[in-house]
Amino acid sequence: MNASNLSLLIISALIVSVNLAYDSSKNVFKSQNDLSKSKIIQLKGAVGPESVAFDPKGQGPYVGVADGRILKWRGSFWVNFAVTSSNRKNCSMPSAPELEHVCGRPLGLRFDTKTGELYIADAYLGLQVVGPKGGLATPLIQKFKGKPLVFTNDVDIDDHDDVIYFTDTSTKYQRRNYLDSFSSGDKTGMLMKYVKSTKKVTVLLRGLAFANGVALSKNRSFVLVAETTNFRILRYWLKGPLVGTHDTFAELPGMPDNIRINSKGEFWIALQAITSQSSISDSNLGKLPLTVQQLYKAQLRPTAMKLSEDGGILEVLEDSKSETLRSISQAEEKDGKLWIGSVVLSFLRVCRL
């Protein structure tokens, strides 16, 4: 897809005002403006808690932030837990995109429930792991077939078979150039698999449009991967008669980020849903490439969408006016609460379910 076609795609999507409260044979749900009522937990001196994770003991949450640290919530304050780079001399600013390749930028976080190890998808430094006590993470995968991973994004763990699934968003564009990936129509993303026992890495899916969130199903029969700029989630079959093939799990009214499963086997999707055409003239979206400022002016509505095991929509939570939440990158369900992360904001939000 060239830049002109992508421009038309973005504009067309923005013109269509998506009504999330509808009733059909497969998708029956009620849209609720609950995210605007959620509690704020400030980070203080840090920004961008893109992913949210709890350890096997239920402690946390843990978040990765823009300066390369992983923080742990102690109930009333944050403490440093881990880092992905040993070179932290110039990593004191809350956000410095020009230093992300030095300081690291942890995105997806997942705990191995058997070992208590935390696996980290660092956008620049690849797939890493750190022990239950934290500290400096150890690189696991930084190259594939002799070439560096360019934009490691998310990760999930099959701790039964000791297999890790992760995404490389692009083989061309680093995280700090993600808008260039959007505007170019880049489709070089990959869903990848790492076997702990053999340390072998294989590619399950290629040619993905901004490969993003990853989530393994409860019975481990399939793994989901978000294609952000294609507004959809794909399902790759790991077991059964369709093993080795993939299909579309869900078409979405906006751009999906991380995917997280709850105890029932349902999936929470962090979604930037599309609003009305009024944002086009304000943000000048017809002219590519987009700037960060233009993207934020596009009035993409932060939405947490819960899907069933077969892709049916069960629940939608949103901040319909984006009054308190301008961005969402993950929704993590824990003990009757939904923890909301954002790759750009300086706080978490917590919403009671």
Alpha helices in the chain, H assignment, sequence order:
3-15, 100-103, 178-184, 278-283, 292-296
Q: Could you state, in order of their start, the residue ranges of all structural domains in the chain?
A: 3-352
What is the structure's pLDDT at 31? 56
What is the structure's pLDDT at 74? 95
Give the CATH fold of the 3-352 domain: Neuraminidase (2.120.10)
Among 323, 353, 332, 329, smallest CA distance to 343 is for 329
Tens digits of residue pLDDT in 197-208: 999 999 999 999
What is the structure's pLDDT at 274? 64
Q: What band does 1 get if pLDDT is binned at 50, 70 and 90?
A: very low
Q: Are 62 and 55 in contact (CB under 8 A)?
A: yes
Most confident of 41-45, 87-91, 224-228, 312-316: 224-228
Average pLDDT rounded to a whole number, residues 84-109: 93
What proportion of the chain, given as a percentage, has pLDDT over 70? Answer: 82
| Res 36 pLDDT > 90 | no
The sheet with strand 39-42 has its strands ordered as: 39-42, 347-352, 337-341, 330-334
Tens digits of residue pLDDT in 93-105: 998 888 999 999 9
Count other C-beta atoms under 10 Å from residue 4's C-beta. Answer: 10
What proportion of the chain, given as a percentage, has pLDDT over 90? Answer: 69
Structure tokens at 252: 């979405």
Q: Are 223 and 156 in contact (CB under 8 A)?
A: yes
Higher per-residue pLDDT: 174 or 18: 174
| Res 11 pLDDT > 80 | no
92: left (phi over 0), alpha (psi -120 to 50) or beta: alpha
Average pLDDT rounded to a whole number, residues 249-259: 94
Tens digits of residue pLDDT in 281-322: 333 333 333 444 455 455 678 899 999 999 999 999 987 666
Q: What band does 28 get if pLDDT is binned at 50, 70 and 90?
A: very low
Average pLDDT rounded to a whole number, residues 147-154: 96
Q: What band does 180 get if pLDDT is binned at 50, 70 and 90?
A: confident
pTM score of the predicted model? 0.86
